[in-house]
A and B are shown apart, each in its own frame.
Chain A
Amino acid sequence: MAGVADRRAVIAGIGLSDYPHTPHLDTLAHHGLAIRRALDDSGISKADVDGLMCVGTYGVDDATTMAELLGVRHRWLDGTAVGGSVFELYVQHAAAAIEHGDCDTVLITYGSDLLSAQGRTLGTRLYTSGARQAGSLQFEMPYGCPLIGNYAMAARRHMFQYGTTSEHLARVAVDARTNASLNPHAMYREPISVDDVMRSRLIADPLHLLDCCVISDGGGAIVMTTAERAVDLRQQPVAVLGAATAQTHWNISQMPDFTTTAAATCGPEAFARAGVTVGDVDTLHLYDSFTITVLLLLEDLGFCPKGEGGRFVEEHRLTFDGSLPTNSDGGGLSSCHPGMRGIFLLIEAVRQLRGQAEAVQVPNCEVAVACGSGGFLSCMSTVVLGKGIR
Protein backbone atom coordinates (compact mmCIF):
# COMPACT_ATOMS: atom_id res chain seq x y z
CA MET A 1 0.00 0.00 0.00
CA ALA A 2 2.95 2.28 -0.71
CA GLY A 3 1.92 5.90 -0.89
CA VAL A 4 -1.62 5.12 0.26
CA ALA A 5 -2.52 5.54 3.91
CA ASP A 6 -3.63 2.29 5.54
CA ARG A 7 -6.95 3.44 6.93
CA ARG A 8 -8.07 0.04 8.16
CA ALA A 9 -9.50 0.51 11.66
CA VAL A 10 -7.77 -0.91 14.70
CA ILE A 11 -8.22 -0.83 18.45
CA ALA A 12 -5.16 0.94 19.79
CA GLY A 13 -6.05 1.47 23.43
CA ILE A 14 -8.23 0.02 26.17
CA GLY A 15 -8.92 1.11 29.72
CA LEU A 16 -11.09 -0.11 32.57
CA SER A 17 -12.11 1.99 35.53
CA ASP A 18 -12.34 0.21 38.87
CA TYR A 19 -14.98 -2.43 39.64
CA PRO A 20 -17.05 -4.12 40.96
CA HIS A 21 -18.05 -1.94 43.93
CA THR A 22 -16.70 1.61 43.99
CA PRO A 23 -18.87 3.88 46.12
CA HIS A 24 -16.21 6.61 45.87
CA LEU A 25 -16.69 6.85 42.08
CA ASP A 26 -19.73 8.25 40.31
CA THR A 27 -20.57 7.84 36.62
CA LEU A 28 -18.32 10.67 35.46
CA ALA A 29 -15.45 9.45 37.61
CA HIS A 30 -15.72 6.04 35.93
CA HIS A 31 -15.57 7.73 32.52
CA GLY A 32 -12.58 9.79 33.58
CA LEU A 33 -10.58 6.85 34.96
CA ALA A 34 -11.31 4.62 31.98
CA ILE A 35 -10.49 7.33 29.43
CA ARG A 36 -7.20 8.29 31.05
CA ARG A 37 -6.19 4.64 31.22
CA ALA A 38 -7.18 3.94 27.61
CA LEU A 39 -5.32 6.99 26.27
CA ASP A 40 -2.29 6.11 28.38
CA ASP A 41 -2.47 2.50 27.19
CA SER A 42 -2.43 3.63 23.55
CA GLY A 43 -0.02 6.54 23.77
CA ILE A 44 -2.48 8.74 21.92
CA SER A 45 -3.14 12.19 23.38
CA LYS A 46 -6.62 13.49 23.99
CA ALA A 47 -5.97 16.30 21.56
CA ASP A 48 -5.80 13.71 18.75
CA VAL A 49 -9.30 12.41 19.43
CA ASP A 50 -11.56 13.69 16.67
CA GLY A 51 -14.41 11.18 16.99
CA LEU A 52 -16.48 10.48 20.11
CA MET A 53 -19.00 7.78 20.96
CA CYS A 54 -20.96 7.65 24.17
CA VAL A 55 -24.38 6.49 25.27
CA GLY A 56 -25.55 7.86 28.56
CA THR A 57 -28.05 9.89 30.47
CA TYR A 58 -28.94 13.16 28.83
CA GLY A 59 -27.24 16.03 30.56
CA VAL A 60 -24.92 13.74 32.50
CA ASP A 61 -22.94 11.59 30.11
CA ASP A 62 -24.64 11.69 26.72
CA ALA A 63 -22.38 12.18 23.71
CA THR A 64 -22.76 15.95 23.39
CA THR A 65 -22.37 16.58 27.10
CA MET A 66 -19.30 14.34 27.18
CA ALA A 67 -17.76 16.20 24.22
CA GLU A 68 -18.07 19.39 26.24
CA LEU A 69 -16.85 17.84 29.50
CA LEU A 70 -13.86 16.21 27.83
CA GLY A 71 -13.05 19.14 25.59
CA VAL A 72 -13.19 16.92 22.53
CA ARG A 73 -13.55 18.96 19.33
CA HIS A 74 -15.01 16.15 17.29
CA ARG A 75 -15.38 15.89 13.56
CA TRP A 76 -17.59 12.86 14.02
CA LEU A 77 -20.02 11.96 16.83
CA ASP A 78 -22.30 8.99 17.53
CA GLY A 79 -24.58 8.53 20.53
CA THR A 80 -26.76 5.77 19.14
CA ALA A 81 -28.57 3.78 21.84
CA VAL A 82 -29.48 0.12 21.32
CA GLY A 83 -28.96 -1.24 24.83
CA GLY A 84 -25.90 -3.03 26.17
CA SER A 85 -24.71 -4.20 22.74
CA VAL A 86 -24.16 -0.60 21.72
CA PHE A 87 -20.39 -0.81 22.13
CA GLU A 88 -20.13 -3.56 19.52
CA LEU A 89 -22.24 -1.36 17.23
CA TYR A 90 -19.92 1.56 18.08
CA VAL A 91 -16.88 -0.42 16.95
CA GLN A 92 -18.69 -1.24 13.72
CA HIS A 93 -19.64 2.40 13.15
CA ALA A 94 -16.22 3.73 14.19
CA ALA A 95 -14.42 1.33 11.87
CA ALA A 96 -16.53 2.50 8.95
CA ALA A 97 -15.99 6.18 9.82
CA ILE A 98 -12.23 5.76 10.21
CA GLU A 99 -11.92 3.78 6.99
CA HIS A 100 -14.03 6.35 5.17
CA GLY A 101 -11.93 9.22 6.47
CA ASP A 102 -14.64 10.96 8.47
CA CYS A 103 -12.26 10.99 11.44
CA ASP A 104 -8.92 9.50 12.45
CA THR A 105 -9.13 8.66 16.14
CA VAL A 106 -12.30 7.63 17.96
CA LEU A 107 -12.82 7.47 21.70
CA ILE A 108 -15.59 5.15 22.96
CA THR A 109 -16.42 5.65 26.62
CA TYR A 110 -18.73 4.17 29.24
CA GLY A 111 -19.17 4.71 32.95
CA SER A 112 -21.77 3.61 35.47
CA ASP A 113 -22.26 3.73 39.22
CA LEU A 114 -25.32 1.50 39.02
CA LEU A 115 -24.57 -0.64 42.07
CA SER A 116 -23.57 2.22 44.35
CA ALA A 117 -26.38 4.51 43.21
CA GLN A 118 -29.29 2.09 42.81
CA GLY A 119 -28.38 -1.21 44.43
CA ARG A 120 -29.10 -4.56 42.82
CA THR A 121 -32.63 -3.96 41.60
CA LEU A 122 -32.14 -3.54 37.84
CA GLY A 123 -33.52 -6.95 36.91
CA THR A 124 -36.26 -7.18 39.48
CA ARG A 125 -38.18 -3.96 39.09
CA LEU A 126 -40.13 -2.41 36.27
CA TYR A 127 -37.87 -0.57 33.88
CA THR A 128 -40.03 2.47 33.41
CA SER A 129 -40.90 5.13 35.90
CA GLY A 130 -44.10 7.02 36.50
CA ALA A 131 -47.69 5.96 36.92
CA ARG A 132 -48.52 6.05 33.22
CA GLN A 133 -46.81 4.67 30.14
CA ALA A 134 -47.17 6.49 26.83
CA GLY A 135 -45.02 4.42 24.50
CA SER A 136 -45.15 0.86 23.26
CA LEU A 137 -44.50 -0.45 26.78
CA GLN A 138 -48.11 0.50 27.60
CA PHE A 139 -48.90 -3.06 26.54
CA GLU A 140 -46.33 -4.64 28.85
CA MET A 141 -45.83 -2.50 31.94
CA PRO A 142 -49.36 -3.01 33.34
CA TYR A 143 -48.58 -6.71 33.76
CA GLY A 144 -45.61 -6.36 36.04
CA CYS A 145 -42.97 -8.19 34.03
CA PRO A 146 -39.56 -7.19 35.36
CA LEU A 147 -36.51 -7.35 33.10
CA ILE A 148 -35.62 -10.86 34.19
CA GLY A 149 -39.13 -12.02 33.28
CA ASN A 150 -38.41 -11.33 29.62
CA TYR A 151 -35.43 -13.66 29.64
CA ALA A 152 -37.28 -16.21 31.74
CA MET A 153 -39.96 -16.45 29.06
CA ALA A 154 -37.28 -17.03 26.42
CA ALA A 155 -35.73 -19.75 28.60
CA ARG A 156 -39.12 -21.38 29.18
CA ARG A 157 -39.86 -21.48 25.46
CA HIS A 158 -36.40 -22.91 24.71
CA MET A 159 -37.00 -25.65 27.26
CA PHE A 160 -40.38 -26.41 25.70
CA GLN A 161 -39.13 -26.55 22.13
CA TYR A 162 -35.75 -28.20 22.63
CA GLY A 163 -35.73 -30.01 25.96
CA THR A 164 -33.22 -27.62 27.50
CA THR A 165 -32.99 -28.04 31.27
CA SER A 166 -32.18 -25.84 34.25
CA GLU A 167 -29.05 -27.95 34.69
CA HIS A 168 -27.93 -26.94 31.19
CA LEU A 169 -28.38 -23.27 32.03
CA ALA A 170 -26.57 -23.76 35.33
CA ARG A 171 -23.47 -25.04 33.50
CA VAL A 172 -23.04 -21.59 31.94
CA ALA A 173 -23.02 -19.94 35.38
CA VAL A 174 -20.61 -22.54 36.78
CA ASP A 175 -18.06 -22.00 34.00
CA ALA A 176 -18.31 -18.22 34.32
CA ARG A 177 -17.55 -18.54 38.02
CA THR A 178 -14.51 -20.72 37.30
CA ASN A 179 -13.15 -17.92 35.10
CA ALA A 180 -14.04 -15.30 37.70
CA SER A 181 -12.16 -17.23 40.37
CA LEU A 182 -8.94 -16.15 38.62
CA ASN A 183 -9.94 -12.50 38.22
CA PRO A 184 -8.90 -10.58 41.35
CA HIS A 185 -11.46 -7.86 40.55
CA ALA A 186 -14.44 -10.17 39.94
CA MET A 187 -17.49 -9.59 42.09
CA TYR A 188 -17.85 -13.27 43.01
CA ARG A 189 -14.85 -15.62 42.97
CA GLU A 190 -15.90 -18.60 45.07
CA PRO A 191 -16.42 -21.62 42.75
CA ILE A 192 -19.99 -22.90 42.47
CA SER A 193 -21.59 -26.14 41.31
CA VAL A 194 -24.61 -26.92 39.17
CA ASP A 195 -26.38 -27.84 42.41
CA ASP A 196 -25.57 -24.43 43.88
CA VAL A 197 -27.26 -22.74 40.91
CA MET A 198 -30.25 -25.08 41.08
CA ARG A 199 -30.65 -24.51 44.81
CA SER A 200 -30.43 -20.72 44.56
CA ARG A 201 -33.88 -19.20 44.82
CA LEU A 202 -36.14 -18.85 41.80
CA ILE A 203 -36.50 -15.20 40.77
CA ALA A 204 -38.64 -15.73 37.66
CA ASP A 205 -39.17 -19.36 36.67
CA PRO A 206 -37.16 -21.03 35.30
CA LEU A 207 -34.33 -18.60 36.14
CA HIS A 208 -32.65 -18.82 39.53
CA LEU A 209 -30.65 -16.14 41.31
CA LEU A 210 -27.39 -17.59 39.99
CA ASP A 211 -28.72 -17.59 36.41
CA CYS A 212 -28.61 -13.77 36.61
CA CYS A 213 -25.70 -11.43 36.03
CA VAL A 214 -24.34 -9.40 38.89
CA ILE A 215 -24.99 -5.71 39.28
CA SER A 216 -21.78 -3.75 39.71
CA ASP A 217 -20.17 -0.39 39.17
CA GLY A 218 -17.65 0.03 36.38
CA GLY A 219 -16.51 1.76 33.24
CA GLY A 220 -14.43 1.24 30.16
CA ALA A 221 -12.96 3.13 27.24
CA ILE A 222 -11.59 2.15 23.85
CA VAL A 223 -9.40 4.15 21.47
CA MET A 224 -9.62 3.32 17.77
CA THR A 225 -7.52 4.71 14.97
CA THR A 226 -6.04 3.80 11.59
CA ALA A 227 -3.62 0.93 11.08
CA GLU A 228 -1.11 3.46 9.80
CA ARG A 229 -1.30 5.61 12.94
CA ALA A 230 -1.13 2.51 15.16
CA VAL A 231 2.25 1.36 13.84
CA ASP A 232 4.30 3.41 16.30
CA LEU A 233 1.91 3.38 19.26
CA ARG A 234 2.46 1.62 22.58
CA GLN A 235 0.44 -1.53 22.00
CA GLN A 236 0.20 -4.12 19.30
CA PRO A 237 -2.90 -3.08 17.33
CA VAL A 238 -6.01 -5.24 17.26
CA ALA A 239 -7.73 -5.30 13.88
CA VAL A 240 -11.47 -5.02 13.38
CA LEU A 241 -11.89 -7.90 10.93
CA GLY A 242 -15.66 -7.68 10.59
CA ALA A 243 -18.73 -6.38 12.37
CA ALA A 244 -22.48 -6.47 11.88
CA THR A 245 -25.65 -5.53 13.77
CA ALA A 246 -29.25 -6.73 13.47
CA GLN A 247 -32.51 -6.32 15.35
CA THR A 248 -35.62 -8.49 15.50
CA HIS A 249 -37.75 -6.43 17.90
CA TRP A 250 -37.36 -4.03 20.79
CA ASN A 251 -39.98 -4.97 23.40
CA ILE A 252 -39.99 -8.64 24.29
CA SER A 253 -43.64 -9.12 23.37
CA GLN A 254 -42.70 -8.46 19.74
CA MET A 255 -39.89 -11.04 19.58
CA PRO A 256 -40.79 -13.15 16.55
CA ASP A 257 -39.31 -16.39 17.93
CA PHE A 258 -38.35 -16.41 21.62
CA THR A 259 -35.62 -18.97 20.91
CA THR A 260 -33.77 -17.12 18.13
CA THR A 261 -32.08 -13.72 18.35
CA ALA A 262 -30.83 -11.35 15.67
CA ALA A 263 -27.35 -12.77 16.29
CA ALA A 264 -28.44 -15.49 13.88
CA THR A 265 -28.33 -12.73 11.24
CA CYS A 266 -25.50 -10.44 12.32
CA GLY A 267 -23.25 -13.25 13.58
CA PRO A 268 -22.80 -15.02 10.24
CA GLU A 269 -22.62 -11.63 8.52
CA ALA A 270 -19.77 -10.45 10.75
CA PHE A 271 -17.95 -13.77 10.32
CA ALA A 272 -18.31 -13.56 6.53
CA ARG A 273 -17.00 -9.99 6.47
CA ALA A 274 -14.04 -11.08 8.57
CA GLY A 275 -13.42 -14.13 6.42
CA VAL A 276 -13.45 -16.47 9.41
CA THR A 277 -15.60 -19.37 10.56
CA VAL A 278 -16.57 -20.47 14.06
CA GLY A 279 -13.68 -22.93 13.96
CA ASP A 280 -11.23 -20.02 13.76
CA VAL A 281 -12.44 -18.41 16.99
CA ASP A 282 -9.98 -18.65 19.87
CA THR A 283 -11.92 -16.72 22.51
CA LEU A 284 -15.57 -15.85 22.70
CA HIS A 285 -17.04 -12.88 24.56
CA LEU A 286 -20.80 -13.16 24.87
CA TYR A 287 -23.19 -10.85 26.65
CA ASP A 288 -24.27 -12.97 29.60
CA SER A 289 -27.09 -10.97 31.12
CA PHE A 290 -28.60 -14.33 32.04
CA THR A 291 -27.49 -17.90 31.40
CA ILE A 292 -30.10 -18.29 28.65
CA THR A 293 -28.53 -15.37 26.75
CA VAL A 294 -25.29 -17.32 26.38
CA LEU A 295 -27.11 -20.44 25.20
CA LEU A 296 -29.01 -18.49 22.55
CA LEU A 297 -25.88 -16.70 21.34
CA LEU A 298 -23.88 -19.94 21.06
CA GLU A 299 -26.61 -21.32 18.82
CA ASP A 300 -27.24 -18.16 16.84
CA LEU A 301 -23.55 -17.54 16.13
CA GLY A 302 -23.31 -21.09 14.81
CA PHE A 303 -21.24 -22.84 17.48
CA CYS A 304 -23.97 -25.49 17.59
CA PRO A 305 -27.28 -26.06 15.79
CA LYS A 306 -30.43 -24.28 17.01
CA GLY A 307 -31.78 -26.05 20.05
CA GLU A 308 -28.51 -27.84 20.85
CA GLY A 309 -27.14 -25.16 23.18
CA GLY A 310 -28.01 -27.11 26.31
CA ARG A 311 -26.26 -30.26 25.17
CA PHE A 312 -23.37 -28.15 23.84
CA VAL A 313 -22.59 -26.62 27.24
CA GLU A 314 -22.86 -30.06 28.77
CA GLU A 315 -20.11 -31.33 26.47
CA HIS A 316 -17.93 -28.22 26.11
CA ARG A 317 -16.37 -26.24 28.90
CA LEU A 318 -16.61 -22.48 28.49
CA THR A 319 -13.75 -21.93 30.93
CA PHE A 320 -10.54 -20.18 29.84
CA ASP A 321 -8.87 -23.61 29.61
CA GLY A 322 -11.92 -25.34 28.11
CA SER A 323 -12.68 -26.26 24.52
CA LEU A 324 -14.44 -22.93 23.86
CA PRO A 325 -12.99 -20.23 26.14
CA THR A 326 -15.82 -17.80 26.81
CA ASN A 327 -15.98 -14.68 28.99
CA SER A 328 -12.55 -15.31 30.47
CA ASP A 329 -12.91 -12.39 32.90
CA GLY A 330 -15.83 -14.10 34.61
CA GLY A 331 -18.48 -12.35 32.54
CA GLY A 332 -21.47 -10.45 33.73
CA LEU A 333 -22.58 -13.57 35.55
CA SER A 334 -19.73 -13.38 38.07
CA SER A 335 -17.46 -10.41 37.44
CA CYS A 336 -18.83 -7.08 36.23
CA HIS A 337 -22.14 -5.77 34.90
CA PRO A 338 -22.82 -2.09 35.54
CA GLY A 339 -25.95 -2.05 33.34
CA MET A 340 -24.34 -2.25 29.89
CA ARG A 341 -21.73 -4.93 29.48
CA GLY A 342 -20.85 -4.58 25.80
CA ILE A 343 -17.63 -2.63 26.31
CA PHE A 344 -16.21 -5.20 28.73
CA LEU A 345 -16.61 -7.93 26.11
CA LEU A 346 -14.43 -5.94 23.71
CA ILE A 347 -11.81 -5.01 26.30
CA GLU A 348 -11.39 -8.61 27.46
CA ALA A 349 -11.16 -9.72 23.80
CA VAL A 350 -8.36 -7.20 23.22
CA ARG A 351 -6.54 -8.36 26.35
CA GLN A 352 -6.65 -11.92 25.04
CA LEU A 353 -5.45 -10.95 21.56
CA ARG A 354 -2.56 -8.94 23.01
CA GLY A 355 -1.57 -11.80 25.29
CA GLN A 356 -2.25 -9.66 28.37
CA ALA A 357 -4.96 -11.77 29.99
CA GLU A 358 -2.61 -13.09 32.67
CA ALA A 359 -4.03 -16.06 34.59
CA VAL A 360 -6.81 -16.68 32.06
CA GLN A 361 -4.72 -16.15 28.91
CA VAL A 362 -5.73 -18.47 26.07
CA PRO A 363 -2.57 -19.59 24.23
CA ASN A 364 -2.04 -18.34 20.68
CA CYS A 365 -5.16 -16.22 20.65
CA GLU A 366 -5.47 -14.87 17.10
CA VAL A 367 -9.21 -14.36 16.61
CA ALA A 368 -11.70 -13.18 19.25
CA VAL A 369 -15.42 -12.58 18.84
CA ALA A 370 -17.56 -10.24 20.93
CA CYS A 371 -21.33 -10.48 20.61
CA GLY A 372 -23.51 -8.03 22.49
CA SER A 373 -27.18 -8.32 23.30
CA GLY A 374 -29.09 -5.06 23.60
CA GLY A 375 -32.53 -4.46 25.01
CA PHE A 376 -34.40 -7.68 25.63
CA LEU A 377 -32.60 -10.08 23.27
CA SER A 378 -33.48 -7.34 20.78
CA CYS A 379 -30.61 -5.59 19.03
CA MET A 380 -27.56 -7.80 18.61
CA SER A 381 -24.14 -6.78 17.39
CA THR A 382 -21.15 -8.99 16.58
CA VAL A 383 -17.51 -7.89 16.23
CA VAL A 384 -14.69 -10.13 15.01
CA LEU A 385 -11.27 -8.95 16.20
CA GLY A 386 -7.86 -10.17 15.06
CA LYS A 387 -4.36 -9.99 16.48
CA GLY A 388 -2.16 -7.43 14.71
CA ILE A 389 -2.49 -6.07 11.20
CA ARG A 390 -2.41 -8.59 8.37
Chain B
Amino acid sequence: MHEHGGARQGDPVSDIPVEGRVLPIANSCTRPFWEATARNELLVQWCDECASAQFYPAPLCRLCGGEPGWFTASGLGTVYTFTIVRQNRTPPFDALGPYIVAMIEMNEGPRMMTNLIDCSLDDVRIGMRVEVVFADPVDAIVLPFWRPLTEPTI
Protein backbone atom coordinates (compact mmCIF):
# COMPACT_ATOMS: atom_id res chain seq x y z
CA MET B 1 0.00 0.00 0.00
CA HIS B 2 2.93 2.32 0.51
CA GLU B 3 4.85 0.76 -2.31
CA HIS B 4 6.45 4.00 -3.44
CA GLY B 5 7.93 4.70 -0.07
CA GLY B 6 9.61 7.82 -1.38
CA ALA B 7 10.18 10.61 1.06
CA ARG B 8 7.89 12.91 -0.84
CA GLN B 9 5.27 10.25 -1.17
CA GLY B 10 5.15 9.20 2.46
CA ASP B 11 1.78 10.07 3.89
CA PRO B 12 2.03 12.45 6.79
CA VAL B 13 1.11 10.65 9.97
CA SER B 14 -0.82 12.68 12.45
CA ASP B 15 -1.14 10.30 15.38
CA ILE B 16 2.51 10.32 16.47
CA PRO B 17 2.82 12.15 19.76
CA VAL B 18 5.56 14.69 19.13
CA GLU B 19 4.50 17.26 21.69
CA GLY B 20 6.86 17.43 24.61
CA ARG B 21 9.78 15.69 22.92
CA VAL B 22 13.23 17.24 22.90
CA LEU B 23 13.26 19.01 19.54
CA PRO B 24 16.27 20.08 17.49
CA ILE B 25 17.86 23.50 17.25
CA ALA B 26 19.06 23.75 13.67
CA ASN B 27 22.63 24.83 13.07
CA SER B 28 24.57 25.62 9.91
CA CYS B 29 25.06 21.91 9.24
CA THR B 30 21.59 20.70 10.03
CA ARG B 31 19.36 23.56 8.86
CA PRO B 32 18.93 22.21 5.30
CA PHE B 33 17.86 18.86 6.72
CA TRP B 34 15.17 20.32 8.97
CA GLU B 35 13.99 22.73 6.29
CA ALA B 36 13.56 19.71 4.03
CA THR B 37 11.61 17.61 6.54
CA ALA B 38 9.24 20.55 6.85
CA ARG B 39 8.56 19.93 3.13
CA ASN B 40 8.24 16.18 3.83
CA GLU B 41 11.52 15.54 2.10
CA LEU B 42 14.46 13.54 3.48
CA LEU B 43 17.85 15.05 2.69
CA VAL B 44 21.15 13.26 3.14
CA GLN B 45 24.57 14.71 2.48
CA TRP B 46 26.52 13.53 -0.54
CA CYS B 47 30.21 13.99 -1.21
CA ASP B 48 31.08 14.23 -4.89
CA GLU B 49 34.78 13.89 -4.21
CA CYS B 50 34.58 10.38 -2.76
CA ALA B 51 31.06 9.43 -3.87
CA SER B 52 29.70 8.70 -0.39
CA ALA B 53 26.55 9.57 1.52
CA GLN B 54 26.55 10.67 5.14
CA PHE B 55 24.09 11.29 7.93
CA TYR B 56 23.90 13.09 10.31
CA PRO B 57 25.12 16.23 8.52
CA ALA B 58 28.62 17.53 9.17
CA PRO B 59 30.60 20.53 7.90
CA LEU B 60 32.82 18.22 5.86
CA CYS B 61 32.84 14.71 4.50
CA ARG B 62 33.85 12.37 7.33
CA LEU B 63 35.55 10.05 4.86
CA CYS B 64 37.67 12.36 2.72
CA GLY B 65 37.30 15.86 4.15
CA GLY B 66 35.55 17.13 1.04
CA GLU B 67 32.68 19.60 1.06
CA PRO B 68 29.40 17.68 1.01
CA GLY B 69 26.29 18.68 -0.90
CA TRP B 70 22.77 17.31 -0.47
CA PHE B 71 20.48 14.90 -2.23
CA THR B 72 16.97 13.63 -1.62
CA ALA B 73 17.06 10.14 -0.18
CA SER B 74 14.69 7.41 -1.31
CA GLY B 75 13.12 7.24 2.13
CA LEU B 76 13.55 3.48 2.06
CA GLY B 77 15.69 1.36 4.31
CA THR B 78 15.98 -1.64 6.61
CA VAL B 79 16.05 -2.07 10.38
CA TYR B 80 19.73 -2.48 11.40
CA THR B 81 18.94 -2.99 15.08
CA PHE B 82 16.26 -1.98 17.56
CA THR B 83 15.13 -2.04 21.15
CA ILE B 84 11.75 -1.88 22.84
CA VAL B 85 12.01 0.80 25.50
CA ARG B 86 9.90 -0.16 28.50
CA GLN B 87 11.17 2.39 31.01
CA ASN B 88 11.99 6.02 30.31
CA ARG B 89 11.39 8.47 33.13
CA THR B 90 11.61 11.54 30.89
CA PRO B 91 8.34 13.10 29.69
CA PRO B 92 6.57 12.56 27.37
CA PHE B 93 8.00 9.04 27.09
CA ASP B 94 7.18 8.18 30.70
CA ALA B 95 3.51 8.28 29.76
CA LEU B 96 3.82 6.02 26.70
CA GLY B 97 3.57 2.28 26.74
CA PRO B 98 6.55 0.33 25.38
CA TYR B 99 7.82 1.82 22.13
CA ILE B 100 10.37 0.88 19.51
CA VAL B 101 13.62 2.75 19.04
CA ALA B 102 15.38 1.56 15.91
CA MET B 103 18.45 2.23 13.82
CA ILE B 104 17.45 2.41 10.17
CA GLU B 105 20.01 1.67 7.50
CA MET B 106 18.89 3.80 4.59
CA ASN B 107 19.13 2.37 1.07
CA GLU B 108 21.81 4.99 0.47
CA GLY B 109 23.95 3.60 3.30
CA PRO B 110 23.92 5.93 6.30
CA ARG B 111 21.96 5.03 9.42
CA MET B 112 19.41 7.09 11.31
CA MET B 113 17.82 6.67 14.72
CA THR B 114 14.04 6.73 14.83
CA ASN B 115 10.90 5.32 16.36
CA LEU B 116 9.41 2.54 14.31
CA ILE B 117 5.69 3.27 14.14
CA ASP B 118 2.65 1.37 12.87
CA CYS B 119 4.47 -1.78 13.89
CA SER B 120 3.48 -4.17 16.65
CA LEU B 121 6.14 -5.02 19.22
CA ASP B 122 5.92 -8.66 18.15
CA ASP B 123 6.57 -7.95 14.49
CA VAL B 124 9.71 -5.81 14.62
CA ARG B 125 12.73 -7.62 13.15
CA ILE B 126 16.25 -6.77 12.10
CA GLY B 127 16.26 -6.64 8.31
CA MET B 128 12.65 -5.49 8.12
CA ARG B 129 12.00 -3.17 5.15
CA VAL B 130 10.83 0.28 6.21
CA GLU B 131 9.88 3.65 4.77
CA VAL B 132 10.02 7.17 6.11
CA VAL B 133 6.95 9.13 7.13
CA PHE B 134 6.70 12.66 8.44
CA ALA B 135 4.91 13.85 11.54
CA ASP B 136 2.86 17.00 11.75
CA PRO B 137 4.91 20.06 12.61
CA VAL B 138 5.42 21.04 16.23
CA ASP B 139 7.05 24.43 16.75
CA ALA B 140 7.84 24.38 13.00
CA ILE B 141 9.84 21.15 13.36
CA VAL B 142 8.84 18.05 11.38
CA LEU B 143 10.34 14.84 12.71
CA PRO B 144 10.84 11.91 10.37
CA PHE B 145 9.66 8.50 11.59
CA TRP B 146 9.85 5.12 9.89
CA ARG B 147 7.29 2.34 9.49
CA PRO B 148 7.18 -1.14 7.96
CA LEU B 149 6.97 -1.16 4.20
CA THR B 150 4.24 -3.27 2.73
CA GLU B 151 5.73 -4.82 -0.39
CA PRO B 152 3.65 -4.41 -3.57
CA THR B 153 1.69 -7.52 -4.45
CA ILE B 154 1.86 -7.53 -8.23
Query: Could you list which residues of chain A lie within 8 angstroms of chain B, going by C-beta atoms?
Result: 121, 124-126, 128, 130-134, 136, 138-146, 149, 152-154, 156-157, 160, 201-207, 252-254, 258
CB distance from B3 to the nearest CB of A (A): 26
**Known interface pairs A143-B101, A149-B101, A253-B113. Does A133 touch B90 (Cβ–Cβ under 8 Å)?**
no
CA distance A207 to B21 in the complex (A): 24
Nearest CB of chain B from residue A166's CB, rounded to whole Å: 13
Hey, which chain B residues are within 8 Å of A140, CB to CB?
Answer: 113
B interface residues (Cβ-Cβ under 8 A, vs A): 18, 21-27, 30, 55-56, 80-90, 93, 96, 99, 101-103, 111-115, 126, 143
A139 touches B56 (CB 8 A): yes
A132 to B85 Cα, complex, angstroms: 21
**Contacts A146-B88, A153-B101, A157-B126 given: A128-B22 contact, CB under 8 Å?**
yes
Q: B86, A144: Cβ atoms under 8 Å?
A: no
5 nearest A-B pairs in the assembled complex, by CB-CB distance: A138-B24, A152-B83, A141-B22, A157-B81, A144-B93
Q: Which residues of B contact A145 (CB under 8 A)?
A: 83, 85, 101, 113
- Closest CB in chain A relative to B91 CB, distance in Å: 10
Assembly CA distance A75 to B23 (angstroms)? 43
Which residues of the partner chain B approach A144 to less than 8 Å between Cβ atoms? 21, 85, 88, 90, 93, 96, 99, 101, 115
Pair B25/A138 contact, Cβ less than 8 Å: yes
Note all chain B residues with C-beta closer than 8 A to A132: 22-25
A258 and B83 alpha carbons, distance in the complex (Å): 13
CA–CA, A140 to B143, complex, Å?
11
Note all chain A residues with C-beta closer than 8 A to B82.
Answer: 153, 156
Tell me the smallest distance from the CB of B31 to a CB of chain A, in Å: 11
Q: Which residues of A contact B113 (CB under 8 A)?
A: 139-140, 143, 145, 252-253
Determine if B56 and A156 form an interchain contact, defined as CB atoms under 8 angstroms apart.
no
B37: min CB distance to chain A, Å: 11
Docked Cα-Cα span, A16 to B99, in Å, equals 40
Could you give 30 example pairs across A and B, Cβ below 8 Å?
A121-B89, A125-B89, A130-B22, A133-B22, A133-B24, A133-B25, A134-B24, A134-B27, A136-B56, A142-B18, A143-B21, A144-B88, A146-B85, A146-B89, A149-B85, A152-B83, A156-B83, A156-B126, A157-B80, A160-B81, A202-B86, A203-B86, A205-B83, A205-B84, A206-B83, A253-B111, A253-B113, A254-B111, A258-B81, A258-B103
For the complex, give the distance between the alpha carbons of A153 and B111 in Å.
Answer: 13
Q: Besides the contacts A132-B22, A160-B81, A258-B81, what 10 more A-B pairs have beta carbons closer than 8 Å?
A: A125-B89, A132-B25, A141-B22, A144-B99, A153-B82, A153-B83, A156-B82, A157-B80, A202-B84, A207-B83
**A352, B136: Cα distance in complex, Å:** 58
Contact A149 B21 (CB under 8 A): no
Least CB distance, A277 to chain B, in whole angstroms:
32
Q: Which residues of A contact B85 (CB under 8 A)?
A: 144-146, 149, 204
Contacts of B23 in A (CB 8 A): 131-133, 138, 142
Query: Do B22 and A131 have beta carbons less than 8 Å apart?
Result: yes
Instruction: Choose among B83, B112, B114 the residue with the greatest number of A CB atoms under 10 Å from its CB.
Output: B83
* CA distance in complex: A143, B93 (Å): 9
Residues of A within 8 A of B87 (CB): 124, 146, 203-204
Contacting residues, chain B, for A146 (C-beta < 8 A): 85, 87-90
A150→B18 CA distance, assembly (Å):
21
Contact A126 B126 (CB under 8 A): no
Is there contact, CB below 8 Å, between B103 and A253?
Answer: yes
In the complex, what distance in Å separates the CA atom of A311 from the CA atom of B47?
Answer: 42
B144 CB to nearest chain A CB (Å): 9
Of A139, A143, A156, A206, most B-chain CB atoms within 10 Å: A143
List B contacts of A258 (CB < 8 A): 80-81, 103
Specify which chain A residues have a CB less than 8 angstroms from the CB of B26 in the assembled complex.
Answer: 138
Task: Collect the chain B residues with CB atoms within 8 Å of residue A157's CB.
Answer: 80-81, 126
Q: Which residues of B contact A121 (CB under 8 A)?
A: 89
* Alpha-carbon distance A206/B88, docked complex (angstroms): 15
How many angstroms between the C-alpha atoms of A206 and B84 in the bound complex? 8
